[in-house]
Structure 1
Amino acid sequence: MKIVCNREKFQSAYQIAAAVAPIRSPKEILINVKLDARGDKAVLMATDSEAGIRLEMDDVEIAVPGVALLPLQRVGNILRECSDEVLTIELTENSLDIRGDHSEFHLPKINPDEFPSVTPFQESAYYEVPARLFKELVKRTVFATDVESTRYQLGGVLFEMEDDQITTVATDGRRLACMHGKGVAIGGFKNSGNSTIVPTKTLQLMERSISDGDDLVCIAARANDILIRTNRCTIFSRLVEGRYPNWKQVMPSREGRTRIDGLAGPFFTAIRQASIVADTESRGVDFTFGNGTLVVAARAADIGQSRIEIPISYDGESINITMDYRYVMDFFKVLDPDKAFALEVRSNAEPALFSTDDGYTYVVMPMARQ
């Protein structure tokens, strides 16, 4: 096998594929990235047995077709530290050689025959979503998963795909993020219920792997696993075992709530400023709405206190609610500063409901006032 490639483009693709491979494993064969250079495309593959990736590269000259295993960290270090613009990667009878105009490396040859296969996307029934929407569906929910709890089903994002609507949901029990969007079922694809829970790591990888040139994402959810495909990439992952809680019961009623409208940027700035002196254990910040002003305040006995004011459109009676500033900030982190949102509250005894006009809803449980 012998290929010639642009180092930066190859490194960019390699980093995405390498994110799947384990750094340590009892199966040493997995601590490699497989390079399959046959036909008119070169494909990078990696797997940790629970998830796998196939990433196609177009800008590669295949001089001699073949297959090679690239040692995960050593090749990653070479691609990062090497300054050559063009590299030749060649598998000889005795070694794996990587050469540029000013450098060359010779690594031990590894037999690729023992490397497990990575599932390609061959489904005829699947769900199709615009790539930009898919990134938002993941970005606006994945942060709310609970990867440390013994409630394993909360360690992923629930996908519900039915007819022309796709919904993603994530919660850690203290807040819940939900995003709706429009998609298309292809080939009679059907998916409903609460068992399609995609691991957090898989979705973070998928979000990174979507390029500006990708227009659509295809999703095929099966009983125990899921396949996700873009123009150049296919990711396979086992689903999180278990059934997701009934998240719709958590959504508070909008009836009788007071609505405060605003822009993400000013609210985010006020919360960041107030949180500087928030209690490091409770992390509670007080929000007071009334008389055309939002007051965000925090205090801690050994740190100090803060009080930040911003104008709002609400002129009614004063409403107070205390929330963990981290959870509130997470909502604003995934929005553009000029994005309009609505906050609906009733009292400090009921959850706060954040929402945007593009299908995003976020629920935060209140805290006891300090």
Structure 2
Amino acid sequence: MKIICEREPLAAAFQLAASVAPARSPKEILQNVKLTVADNVATFTATDMEVGIRLEMVEGLEVETDGAALLPVARTNAILRESSDEKITIETDDSGVKILGSRSKFRLPGANPDEFPRVVGFDEESYHEIPVRLFRQMVKRTVFATDAESSRYALGGVLLELDGESVLAVGTDGRRLARMQGTGTSVGDHKTTGTSTIVPTRAIQLMERAVSDQDETVQLAARANDLLLRTSRCTIYSRLVEGRYPNWRQVFPQRENASQIDMTVGPLFAALRQAAIVTDQESRGIDFTFADGTLTMEANTAEIGESQVELPIAYDGESVTLTMDHRFVADFCKVLDAESGFILEIETSGSPALLSTEDGYGYVIMPMARDR
């Protein structure tokens, strides 16, 4: 095998594939990315046996000889990162793999690429097609609310519900819950069943990173124990999280007497950052008091100090004070543009706050109990 590649697209493709490979594994072969060259296409495959990726590269590629090679992740990444060459040559011989620049030459040991585990392709006839922009929003607006450290394994991933034109993603750690919904297309009557299509946090973040701006849609196929994603240049496979997801719809507030306040992300986030200056890891709660056209945020932490920040709002109801973890409010602000508008729904100091946007995003924050 011998190919000549432009370094930047090569490095980007290799780095994405390499992010799947485990840093440590009893199976040393998994600490490689397999490169297969055929029909003027270079295909990178990697897996940790839970997640797998097949990534094609055509841009900036000259093929002299077809073939296959195993590229050690750590060394190859370092070579591509440190090189300043515009083009890189990769070739194999009986002694291993050579990576050549204009003034550099590296030889790496080469294991047998035929022994590398097969990474499945996308051969499904039944799947959902989702606009790229919506898919990215579904991931970014929910994945931060998952809890990979929880003993409840189902919370360590994003729940996908796909049925007809309805596509929906949910993330929760039990203290807050994020839901993003939109519209897609079912092909071959594809749909998920129940609450078992839970994609591990790490895997769905990889899927979001793998989506290219040049893609208009992504295809998702949910099977009994795994999920497949396909774009124009890659396929990603992931086992699903075992377990049943909580009944998230019971958590989502359905209230008749709640107050709804129109707000803008930027001013809230700016005021929140000021109020949070005197918080610490143990004392994360901030009192949000809504009264007389003003939102007052107050924090009080022993040995650090106190803060009080006011923000004008369109609210003239009875005074209501909620204590919320400032990080949870900040997470909501971070995934939206500063000029985005949203509705903040409150009822009592003991009931959850609901933050929602017009484009299908809803975010529930449970109030904190705080000692005074």
* TM-score for the superposition, normalised by structure 1: 0.98
Task: Note the 1:256-295 alignment, pairs <5 A.
Answer: 256-295=257-296
Corresponding residue of 2:83 = 82
Q: 1:116, CA displacement in angstroms?
A: 0.3
Question: Given residue 290 of structure 1, which amino acid in structure 2 is its aligned partner?
Answer: A
Question: Given residue 45 of structure 1, which amino acid in structure 2 is its aligned partner?
Answer: T
The count of corresponding residues between Structure 1 and Structure 2 is 370
**Paired residue secondary structure (1:329):** helix
Do 1:279 and 1:298's aligned partners in 2 also have CA atoms closer than 8 Å?
no
Question: Given residue 49 of structure 2, which amino acid in structure 1 is its aligned partner?
Answer: S
Q: Which runs of 5+ in 2 are unaligned?
A: none
**Paired residue secondary structure (1:122):** coil
Corresponding residue of 2:228 = 227
**Paired residue secondary structure (1:159):** strand
- Decide which moves more: 317-326 or 123-132: 317-326
Moved over 3 A (4+): none
- Determine whether 1:19 maps to 2:19: yes
Q: 1:133, CA displacement in angstroms?
A: 0.5
The whole-number CA distance in structure 2 between the counterparts of 1:109 and 1:157 is 38
**Paired residue secondary structure (1:349):** coil
- Determine whether 1:358 maps to 2:339: no
Corresponding residue of 2:150 = 149
Corresponding residue of 1:168 = 169
- Determine whether 1:330 maps to 2:331: yes
Q: Which runs of 5+ in 1 are unaligned?
A: none
The whole-number CA distance in structure 1 between the counterparts of 2:280 and 2:216 is 45
**Paired residue secondary structure (1:274):** helix
Question: Given residue 10 of structure 2, which amino acid in structure 1 is its aligned partner?
Answer: F
Q: 1:317, CA displacement in angstroms?
A: 2.5
The whole-number CA distance in structure 2 between the counterparts of 1:57 and 1:293 is 55
Q: 1:243, CA displacement in angstroms?
A: 1.0
Corresponding residue of 1:3 = 3
Question: Given residue 202 of structure 1, which amino acid in structure 2 is its aligned partner?
Answer: A
Do 2:161 and 2:197's aligned partners in 1 also have CA atoms closer than 8 Å?
yes
Question: Given residue 185 of structure 2, which amino acid in structure 1 is its aligned partner?
Answer: V
Identity of aligned residues (%): 58
The whole-number CA distance in structure 2 between the counterparts of 1:92 and 1:254 is 69
Question: Given residue 209 of structure 1, which amino acid in structure 2 is its aligned partner?
Answer: A
Do 1:167 and 1:180's aligned partners in 2 also have CA atoms closer than 8 Å?
yes
Q: 1:279, CA displacement in angstroms?
A: 4.5
**Paired residue secondary structure (1:362):** strand
The whole-number CA distance in structure 1 between the counterparts of 2:296 and 2:222 is 46
* TM-score for the superposition, normalised by structure 2: 0.98
- Determine whether 1:35 maps to 2:32: no
Corresponding residue of 1:236 = 237
Question: Given residue 34 of structure 2, which amino acid in structure 1 is its aligned partner?
Answer: K
- Determine whether 1:198 maps to 2:176: no
**Paired residue secondary structure (1:34):** strand
The whole-number CA distance in structure 2 between the counterparts of 1:280 and 1:4 is 51
Do 2:289 and 2:319's aligned partners in 1 also have CA atoms closer than 8 Å?
yes
Question: Given residue 72 of structure 2, which amino acid in structure 1 is its aligned partner?
Answer: P
Corresponding residue of 1:115 = 116
Task: Note the 1:36-55 alignment, pairs <5 A.
Answer: 36-55=36-55
Q: 1:241, CA displacement in angstroms?
A: 0.5
Q: Report the aligned-residue RMSD.
A: 0.9
Do 1:348 and 1:367's aligned partners in 2 also have CA atoms closer than 8 Å?
no
Do 2:283 and 2:301's aligned partners in 1 also have CA atoms closer than 8 Å?
no
Corresponding residue of 1:56 = 56
